[in-house]
């Protein structure tokens, strides 16, 4: 199968998945036992107010018609009005997304920068001390409750030592940088405001560490096992026999090929980062989608919950699409049949 | 049946027993199960009993792991918490594996459009970040332990469906299955008697990893208020309740978190060990 026809097939699959996702998020709001109109207006609302509310949000229409309204609106980028913040959900998502993106991206970059070398070192030092250390640290990373880790980090680095801030995106006495990308680190650099930059880096460190530990562990494990496999291949032996330096054989020949399966893992890890962001943001008072999702779900704010769920699914599906296409590009031997 | 599950063995001892870490995982889970079963006998106090005169006491001879903000004994709450965590693991993995296996068997054996539809369905469920969908589900159904378990099972079954389907696709064409088919065996019997037993090995590996995963997700849901509700003694709830005391009375959150960490790590070690034992090609690479 050629790359364009592979891409086309993946795009069709992508649209099908998005339709399925919208059906599930929509269906979820209909199994809710509580009446959203009463939840939004409070117990003291009059019948007329409740009726008007239902009319306004189409809550009194038949279910298929409600779904149709929902999907048509989605296609136009209209995710409805948040019952809680009373603002368009799309606007809320735009508002909160950059914070989550900045946090997840930093966590992902940290876990790639640490996980890949850790996996390579672990594989090349198999059954020796560095290997044991990496394996134990990754075992803990794959098993630790992220919210607990966050709490312990706050308790130690903020509560006990006072070295790092325990929450928020930037120091409260430093004005946030002018909005360009929504990423405080990038925007402050663009504005030349180094004070704001350092403050946002400081604030990013602990939550990104807590969030990234799990994916670091997964990436290190995957890199280790694919390195072990690659190290036994003929071309590695050939490179060694040729008298190439050990470091060059490992990094130039083996690690590059061992990276291919690891790339897929990185795509899958992205989903766990989004899930983890919900917990991390709650712990670190990080004003992102995760915290928005939690407070929306508590308030039975379905349009908001559906919006976050949809966006998360969209981002995750897109990330995997990009990874799969990247995979095809990285390894020309793969032909999708 | 055992013969069909094991691959050529070089040593007389099963592979999992040659790995001390796997043994450690098994021992940990055995101890945990014992604690869970005998909780009423070994817990020094009632996990819900409040003694306001002994609030927030650090670990001591009277309360080995200290007391919480309501004067409840942390050790007793931890012991009872083991029951809930193991229950979550068993129920969630049981539900997810049953549904997923059924879907995978049907999809793989039937093939055609049914296979296509079922696999697209797993794609849809795969696309949701687990905790976010679980949160939406438990938010919609109302926060409780039961709903949290349902929610986690809903996001966990697709992996079993894919695993089983892949196995069925390769097994379907094997000679012994063709032989059974040519003898006129009904499809249900071929699937149940000849195909299913051979899919159990990878299922078992996945299940042990998922036990840990389910416990982590459920604790996370409880922590943000969508799972087990206070005052139930559950590890996630305990961490959440200790949250405001993390700098001053760290034991409140420290111990339940360590319990989750050890339990999940034990299941992961067992998963690693089983995978190595069942697939010697991967031995020691994980």
Q: What is the rounded CA–CA span in Å between residue A289 and residue A295?
A: 10
Chain B, nearest residue to A146 by Cα: B220
Mean residue pLDDT of chain A comes to 85
Q: What is the pLDDT of residue A34?
A: 64
Does residue A333 have a pLDDT over 70? no
CB contact under 8 Å between B257 and A151, yes or no, is: yes
Give the pTM.
0.87
Chain A, nearest residue to B281 by Cα: A229
Best of B127, B243, B270 to substitute, by most chain A Cβ atoms within 10 angstroms, is B127
Q: What is the pLDDT of residue A268?
A: 74
Residues of A in contact with B127 (CB under 8 A): 17, 21, 313, 316-317
Q: How many CB atoms lie within 10 A of CB B60?
A: 11
Q: What is the pLDDT of residue B7?
A: 47
Residue B1 pLDDT level (bands cut at 50, 70, 90): very low
Q: Is A172 exposed, middle or buried (0-12, 13-18, 19+ CB in 10 A)?
A: exposed
Nearest to B136 among A28, A140, A221 (CB): A28
Residue B53 pLDDT level (bands cut at 50, 70, 90): confident
CB contact under 8 Å between B124 and A24, yes or no, is: yes
Best of B246, B259, B271 to substitute, by most chain A Cβ atoms within 10 angstroms, is B246
Per residue in B202-237, pLDDT (tens digit) is 899 999 999 999 999 999 999 988 889 999 999 999
Nearest to B260 among A13, A145, A151 (CB): A145
Q: What is the pLDDT of residue B72?
A: 93
Does residue B285 have a pLDDT over 70? no
Q: What is the pLDDT of residue B5?
A: 47
Residue B37 pLDDT level (bands cut at 50, 70, 90): very high
Residues of B in contact with A316 (CB under 8 A): 127-129
Does residue A39 have a pLDDT over 60? yes
Among B225, B223, B219, B212, CA closest to B263: B212
CB contact under 8 Å between A228 and B285, yes or no, is: yes
Nearest to B133 among A16, A144, A309 (CB): A309
Q: What is the rounded CA–CA span in Å between residue A320 and residue A121?
A: 27
Highest mean pLDDT among A302-316, B206-220, B268-282: B206-220
Q: What is the rounded CA–CA span in Å between residue B135 and residue A95?
A: 21
Per residue in B102-131, pLDDT (tens digit) is 999 999 988 889 998 999 899 888 888 778
Does residue B280 have a pLDDT over 90? no
Residues of A in contact with B239 (CB under 8 A): 145, 147-148, 151
Q: How far is CA A158 from the centre of its chain?
A: 25
Does residue A28 have a pLDDT over 90? no
Nearest to A305 among B136, B250, B284 (CB): B136
Q: What is the pLDDT of residue B102?
A: 95
Among B115, B116, A319, A9, CA closest to A1: A9
Chain B, nearest residue to A229 by Cα: B285
Q: What is the rounded CA–CA span in Å between residue A86 and residue A62?
A: 24
Residue A159 pLDDT level (bands cut at 50, 70, 90): confident
């Amino acid at each position: 199968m050629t790359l364009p026809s592979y891409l086309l097939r993946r795009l069709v699959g992508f649209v099908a998945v998005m339709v399925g996702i919208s059906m599930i998020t929509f269906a979820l709001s209909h199994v809710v036992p509580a009446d959203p109109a009463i939840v939004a207006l409070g117990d003291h609302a009059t019948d007329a107010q409740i009726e008007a509310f239902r009319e306004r949000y189409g809550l009194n229409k038949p279910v298929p018609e409600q779904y149709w309204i929902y999907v048509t609106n989605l296609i136009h980028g209209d995710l409805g009005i948040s019952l809680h913040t009373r603002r368009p959900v799309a606007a809320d998502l735009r508002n909160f997304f950059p914070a989550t993106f900045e946090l997840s991206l930093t966590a992902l970059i940290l876990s790639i920068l640490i996980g890949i070398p850790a996996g390579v070192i672990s594989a090349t030092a198999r059954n020796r001390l560095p290997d044991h250390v990496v394996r134990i640290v990754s075992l803990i990373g794959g098993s630790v409750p992220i919210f607990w880790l966050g709490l312990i980090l706050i308790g130690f680095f903020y509560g006990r030592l006072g070295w790092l801030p325990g929450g928020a995106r930037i120091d409260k006495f430093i004005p946030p940088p002018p909005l360009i990308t929504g990423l405080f680190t990038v925007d402050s650099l663009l504005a030349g405001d180094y004070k704001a930059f350092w403050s946002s880096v400081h604030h990013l460190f602990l939550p990104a560490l807590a969030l990234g530990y799990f994916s670091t562990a997964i990436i290190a494990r995957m890199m280790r096992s694919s390195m072990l496999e690659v190290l036994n291949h003929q071309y590695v032996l050939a490179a060694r026999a040729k008298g190439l330096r050990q470091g060059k054989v490992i990094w130039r020949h083996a690690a590059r090929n061992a990276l291919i399966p690891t790339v897929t893992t990185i795509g899958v890890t992205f989903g766990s980062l989004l899930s983890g962001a919900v917990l991390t943001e709650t712990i670190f008072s990080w004003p992102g989608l995760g915290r928005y999702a939690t407070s929306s779900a508590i308030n039975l704010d379905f349009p908001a919950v559906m919006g976050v769920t949809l966006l998360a699914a969209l981002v995750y599906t897109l990330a995997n699409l990009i990874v799969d296409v990247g995979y095809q590009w990285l390894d020309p031997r793969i032909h999708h049949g | 049946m055992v013969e069909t599950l094991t691959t050529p063995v070089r040593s007389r001892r099963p592979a999992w027993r040659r790995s001390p870490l796997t043994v450690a995982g098994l021992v940990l889970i055995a101890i945990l199960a014992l604690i869970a079963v005998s909780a009423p006998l070994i817990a020094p106090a009632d996990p819900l009993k409040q003694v306001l005169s002994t609030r927030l006491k650090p670990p001591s001879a009277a309360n080995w792991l200290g007391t919480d903000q309501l004067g409840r004994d942390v050790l007793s709450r931890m012991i009872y918490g083991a029951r809930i965590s193991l229950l979550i693991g068993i129920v969630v993995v049981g539900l997810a594996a049953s549904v997923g296996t059924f879907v995978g068997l049907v999809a793989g054996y039937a093939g055609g459009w049914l296979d296509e539809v079922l696999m697209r369905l797993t794609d849809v469920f795969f696309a949701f970040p687990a905790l976010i969908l679980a949160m939406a589900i438990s938010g919609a159904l109302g926060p409780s332990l039961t709903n949290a378990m349902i929610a986690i099972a809903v996001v966990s079954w697709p992996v079993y469906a894919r695993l089983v389907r892949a196995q069925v696709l390769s097994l379907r064409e094997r000679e012994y299955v063709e032989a059974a088919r040519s003898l006129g065996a009904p499809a249900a019997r071929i699937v149940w008697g000849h195909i299913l037993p051979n899919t159990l090995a990878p299922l078992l590996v996945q299940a042990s990893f998922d036990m840990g995963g389910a416990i982590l997700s459920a604790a996370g849901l409880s922590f943000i208020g969508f799972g087990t509700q206070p005052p139930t003694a559950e590890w996630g709830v305990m961490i959440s309740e200790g949250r405001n005391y993390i700098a001053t009375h760290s034991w409140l959150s420290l111990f339940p978190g360590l319990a989750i960490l050890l339990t999940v790590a034990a299941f992961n070690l067992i998963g690693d060990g089983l995978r190595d034992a069942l697939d010697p090609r991967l031995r020691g690479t994980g």
